[in-house]
C-alpha cells in the first residue's frame, strides 16, 4: 500500500541527485557524503537522473529557509502513485540472522510551540523528548497575527466557498497544481533535493529508490486539492496517511522541515500563478492537513504499535511465481476480512508493499498472504523466492474498506482477478463465520487455466457452503471453464439487483468492473474496492 545497482562511482566532488537516494545507480545501503563543490555547468536537478543538485545554485542562490513561523506542511501520500518499471532487482543477501529493525519511534507528542521564541524548536534542530500521547497544538500561522490579536483557530480559517462551490484557497491551490503538472517530476525532485540537503537526518526515513516516492507526493497533493472542501473525505484520507506514517518513524517535528521545502519547490516551479495570496492559501490548507495527520497518529499510538514484527511460519509455492506466505505476529494483530496491510522485508528496509489478507481472522492468530513475484518487484521477489520459515517481516497497520456489511441480507457479488482472489476468499470465510445464509457469487478470473492457483480451495469452500457459487473464468487459451473477459461473463449472468459488489485484482480489472456493474444497474455506493492508487503498490500492482 516495489534493479541491479551498479558499483558506486569514485567521488566526483559534487553532490548529485543520486547522492540523496534518487538514482538507481547506487547500491542499497550506500550513504552519500555531501561536498560543497559546484559544477561548472547549470543543469536541472533531475532527482533520480544523476544530474547535479548543486547545479541549480550556479546562476541563482538557493531560496532561503523560511523562519519558524512557517506552518508545518506534510509530504508524501503512501496511498499510491504509478511506478515505472525498474530493471530486475538484485538478489537479496542470503542472511538468516534475526531481523533487527530500527528503534521504534512511537512518540507523537509535538514540540512545545507555546514556549518563548528563544526556546522553540525550529526546523533542523533536535527536539526535546516529547511526552507520550500528548495532543499536538495547532501549528502557528505563516503570516503573524495583527498586534494584540490571537491566531485564528483551525475552524476559523478564512476559507469561504465561492459560487462554484470551491473555496478561494482551493482555487488557488488547484491553479498551482495545474501549472506544475507538466513539470511534476522536476518539482518533486527539487523538493526532495532541498529536503535532504537542508535536513540530511530525514534521509533515513525514505527508501533507497525514490521513484515511487516522487509519484506519491504529487498524488497526495492532487488528492488533498480535490477534496480540500470536503472535510469528511479529506479527514478520512489524511487520517489514514497519518496512522500509516508511524511505521516510517515520522514525528511531528519533521513537518516544518518538509513544509519549508515544499513551499520553496512550489515557488520555483509555479512562478506564473504564485503570489502572496497563493502562498498564504497553501500554508493555511496544509497547516490543517498536517494537523489532521499528527492528531490521527497520536490517537493511533494510544492503542497500537507503529508496526508489528511477524515470523514466517509457512511458505507454499503454488506456481513458479506465486507463493502463499503465512506469518505469526509477535503481538495480536486486529484486522477485518477484506482488508490489507503493508509489508517490509529484512532484505529491503524502508520499502513497503501492500498485500491483502487471504483469510478471515483466525483463532491461532496466523496471517496469510498471496504474493506474486512481478518483474522488477523488490519485495514480491524476495517474498516468493527468498523468504522461508524463520525470517521476520514487519507489518504496518491494517487498512482498506472492502469489508462485509453484516447489517444487510444482500447477496455478495465478488470479482477476483489473479491474486485478487485472496481477499475474496477472506470475505467468503467471514460470511460463513457469521452463520447467515446469504448468497455469495464468486467470479474468479485468470488468463490461463494454470493461473487459477487457488481454484481447489475455492471449490472446496463451495462444496462446504450451499449458498456459495464459484465460477472460474479464463480469458486466454483453451479451457473447459468459462471463457472470455471476466466483466463480460459477469454481465451475462446478471442482473444483480439484490447484491453488493466486491472487486479485487489488477487496477485495469477494477476500472472495467466498476464500469460494467454501474452499467447493469448496481448503485456505486454498493460497489466496494480499495482505491486504485492503493492497488498500484499492492500484490496486484508493483511490488
- Structural domain containing residue 172: 134-301
Least confident of 257-271, 309-323, 403-417, 523-537: 523-537
- Measure the CA–CA gap between 479 and 448, rounded to whole angstroms: 8
Number of domains into which the chain is organized: 3
pLDDT tens string 172-225: 999 999 999 999 889 988 999 999 999 999 888 887 767 666 667 767 777 777
274: domain CATH number? 1.10.490.10
Which residue would you say has higher pLDDT here, 120 or 319? Answer: 319
Strands 367-372, 499-504: pairing kind: unpaired
pLDDT of residue 240: 86
Helix (H), strand (E), coil (C) string for 378-408: HHHHHHHHCCCCCCEEEECCCECCCCCCCCC
pLDDT of residue 102: 39
Residue 484 to residues 180, 444, 504, Cα–Cα distance (Å): 42, 12, 18
pLDDT of residue 535: 41
Which residue would you say has higher pLDDT here, 213 or 369? Answer: 369
Contact 216, 295 (CB under 8 A): no
Contact 283, 141 (CB under 8 A): yes
Burial 502-534 (b: 16+ CB within 10 A, else e): bbbbbbebbebbbebbeeeebeeebbbbbbbbb
- Measure the CA–CA gap between 511 and 502, rounded to whole angstroms: 12
Last residue of a domain, one of 301, 323, 353: 301
Contact 75, 248 (CB under 8 A): no
User: What is the SS3 assignment for 472?
Assistant: strand
Last residue of a domain, one of 249, 269, 301: 301
Contact 25, 49 (CB under 8 A): no
Judgement on whether residues 491 and 420 belong to the same structural domain of the protein? yes
What are the backbone angles phi and psi of residue 417, rounded to the nearest 5°?
-115, 130
User: What is the SS3 assignment for 426?
Assistant: helix
pLDDT tens string 263-277: 999 999 999 999 999
Which three three-digit cell numbers place residue 384?
Answer: 516468493
Judgement on whether residues 191 and 265 belong to the same structural domain of the protein? yes
How many C-beta atoms lie closer than 10 Å to residue 180's C-beta? 21
Contact 159, 284 (CB under 8 A): yes
Q: Does residue 495 have a cis bond before it (omega within 30 degrees)?
A: yes
pLDDT tens string 30-54: 333 333 333 333 333 333 333 333 3
Judgement on whether residues 356 and 278 belong to the same structural domain of the protein? no
pLDDT tens string 490-499: 999 988 989 9
pLDDT of residue 90: 54
Least confident of 96-105, 250-259, 316-325, 432-441: 96-105
Quote helix, strand, coil % in the chain, to nearest 5: 35, 15, 50
How many C-beta atoms lie closer than 10 Å to residue 293's C-beta? 28
Question: Rg of the Cα trace of the chain?
Answer: 25
Which residue would you say has higher pLDDT here, 517 or 494? Answer: 517
Strands (E), 174-321: 308-317
Q: Which residue has the cell 495547532?
A: 138
Q: In this structure, is residue 461 part of a structural domain?
A: yes
- Measure the CA–CA gap between 444 and 455, rounded to whole angstroms: 8
503: domain CATH number? 3.40.50.80
- Measure the CA–CA gap between 347 and 94, rounded to whole angstroms: 9
Q: In this structure, is residue 78 part of a structural domain?
A: no
Terminal Cα distance for the chain, rounded: 9
- Measure the CA–CA gap between 414 and 310, rounded to whole angstroms: 30
Contact 267, 83 (CB under 8 A): no
Last residue of a domain, one of 285, 301, 317: 301
Q: In this structure, is residue 225 part of a structural domain?
A: yes
Which three three-digit cell numbers place residue 365?
Answer: 492468530
Give residue 26's Cα distance to chain centre: 24
Judgement on whether residues 140 and 247 belong to the same structural domain of the protein? yes
Residue 451 to residues 87, 202, 376, 475, Cα–Cα distance (Å): 24, 42, 20, 11
- Overall average pLDDT of the 382-400 stretch: 95
Which residue would you say has higher pLDDT here, 148 or 224? Answer: 224
- Measure the CA–CA gap between 360 and 76, rounded to whole angstroms: 31
Judgement on whether residues 471 and 356 belong to the same structural domain of the protein? no
User: What is the SS3 assignment for 233?
Assistant: helix
Judgement on whether residues 145 and 273 belong to the same structural domain of the protein? yes
Judgement on whether residues 361 and 499 belong to the same structural domain of the protein? no
Judgement on whether residues 216 and 320 belong to the same structural domain of the protein? no
Q: In this structure, is residue 321 part of a structural domain?
A: yes
Judgement on whether residues 159 and 279 belong to the same structural domain of the protein? yes
pLDDT of residue 213: 67
Q: Which residues contact 192 (CB under 8 A, 6 or more apart)?
A: 20, 22, 47, 206, 210, 213, 214, 261
Residue 396 to residues 98, 206, 314, Cα–Cα distance (Å): 19, 15, 20
Crossing angle of the two packed helices 168-180 and 276-301, in degrees rounded to 10: 100
pLDDT of residue 49: 32
Judgement on whether residues 276 and 385 belong to the same structural domain of the protein? no
Q: In this structure, is residue 176 part of a structural domain?
A: yes
- Measure the CA–CA gap between 329 and 365, rounded to whole angstroms: 7
Amino acid at each position: 500500500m516495489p534493479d541491479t545497482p551498479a558499483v558506486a562511482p569514485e567521488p566526483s566532488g559534487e553532490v548529485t541527485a543520486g547522492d540523496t537516494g534518487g538514482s538507481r545507480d547506487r547500491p542499497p545501503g550506500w550513504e552519500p557524503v555531501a561536498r560543497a563543490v559546484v559544477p561548472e555547468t547549470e543543469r536541472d536537478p533531475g532527482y533520480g537522473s544523476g544530474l547535479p543538485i548543486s547545479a541549480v545554485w550556479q546562476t541563482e542562490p538557493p531560496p532561503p529557509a523560511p523562519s519558524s513561523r512557517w506552518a508545518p506542511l506534510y509530504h508524501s501520500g503512501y496511498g499510491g502513485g504509478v511506478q515505472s518499471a525498474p530493471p530486475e532487482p538484485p538478489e537479496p543477501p542470503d542472511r538468516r540472522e534475526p531481523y533487527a529493525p530500527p528503534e521504534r519511534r512511537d512518540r507523537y507528542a509535538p514540540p512545545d510551540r507555546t514556549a518563548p521564541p528563544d526556546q522553540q524548536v525550529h526546523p533542523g534542530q533536535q527536539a526535546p523528548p516529547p511526552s507520550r500521547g500528548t495532543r499536538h497544538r495547532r501549528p502557528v500561522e505563516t503570516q503573524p497575527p495583527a498586534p494584540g490579536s490571537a491566531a485564528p483557530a483551525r475552524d476559523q480559517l478564512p476559507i469561504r466557498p465561492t459560487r462554484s462551490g470551491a473555496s478561494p484557497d482551493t482555487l488557488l491551490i488547484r491553479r498551482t497544481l495545474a501549472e506544475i503538472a507538466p513539470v511534476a517530476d522536476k518539482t518533486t525532485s527539487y523538493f526532495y533535493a532541498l529536503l535532504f540537503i537542508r535536513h540530511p537526518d530525514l534521509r533515513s526515513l525514505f527508501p533507497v529508490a525514490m521513484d515511487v516516492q516522487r509519484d506519491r507526493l504529487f498524488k497526495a497533493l492532487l488528492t488533498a486539492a480535490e477534496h480540500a472542501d470536503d472535510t469528511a473525505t479529506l479527514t478520512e484520507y489524511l487520517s489514514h496517511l497519518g496512522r500509516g506514517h508511524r511505521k516510517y518513524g515520522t514525528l511531528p517535528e519533521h513537518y516544518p522541515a518538509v513544509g519549508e521545502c515544499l513551499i520553496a519547490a512550489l515557488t520555483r516551479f509555479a512562478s506564473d500563478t504564485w503570489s502572496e495570496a497563493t502562498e498564504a492559501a497553501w500554508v493555511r490548507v496544509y497547516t490543517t492537513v498536517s494537523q489532521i495527520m499528527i492528531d490521527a497518529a497520536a490517537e493511533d499510538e494510544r492503542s497500537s504499535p507503529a508496526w508489528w514484527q511477524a515470523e514466517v511460519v509457512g511458505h507454499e509455492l503454488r506456481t513458479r511465481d506465486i507463493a502463499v506466505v503465512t506469518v505469526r505476529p509477535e503481538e495480536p494483530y486486529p484486522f477485518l476480512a477484506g482488508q490489507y496491510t503493508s509489508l517490509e522485508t529484512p532484505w529491503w528496509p524502508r520499502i513497503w508493499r501492500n498485500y491483502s489478507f487471504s483469510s478471515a481472522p483466525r483463532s491461532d492468530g496466523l496471517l496469510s498472504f498471496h504474493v506474486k513475484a512481478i518483474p522488477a518487484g523488490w519485495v514480491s521477489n524476495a517474498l516468493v523466492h527468498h523468504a522461508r520459515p524463520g525470517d521476520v517481516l514487519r507489518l504496518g497497520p491494517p487498512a482498506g474498506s472492502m469489508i462485509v456489511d453484516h447489517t444487510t441480507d444482500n447477496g455478495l457479488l465478488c470479482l477476483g482477478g489473479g491474486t485478487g482472489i485472496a481477499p475474496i476468499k477472506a470475505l467468503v470465510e467471514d460470511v460463513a463465520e457469521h452463520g447467515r445464509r446469504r448468497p455469495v457469487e464468486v467470479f474468479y478470473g485468470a488468463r490461463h487455466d494454470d493461473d487459477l492457483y487457488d481454484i481447489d480451495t475455492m471449490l472446496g469452500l463451495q462444496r462446504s457452503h450451499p449458498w456459495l457459487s464459484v465460477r472460474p473464468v479464463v480469458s486466454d487459451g483453451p479451457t473447459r471453464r468459462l471463457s472470455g473477459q471476466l466483466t463480460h461473463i459477469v454481465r451475462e449472468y446478471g442482473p444483480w439487483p439484490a447484491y453488493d459488489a466486491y472487486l479485487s485484482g489488477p487496477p485495469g480489472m477494477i476500472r472495467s468492473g466498476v464500469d460494467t456493474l454501474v452499467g447493469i444497474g448496481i448503485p456505486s455506493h454498493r460497489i466496494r474496492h480499495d482505491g486504485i492508487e492503493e492497488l498500484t503498490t499492492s500484490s496486484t500492482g508493483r511490488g
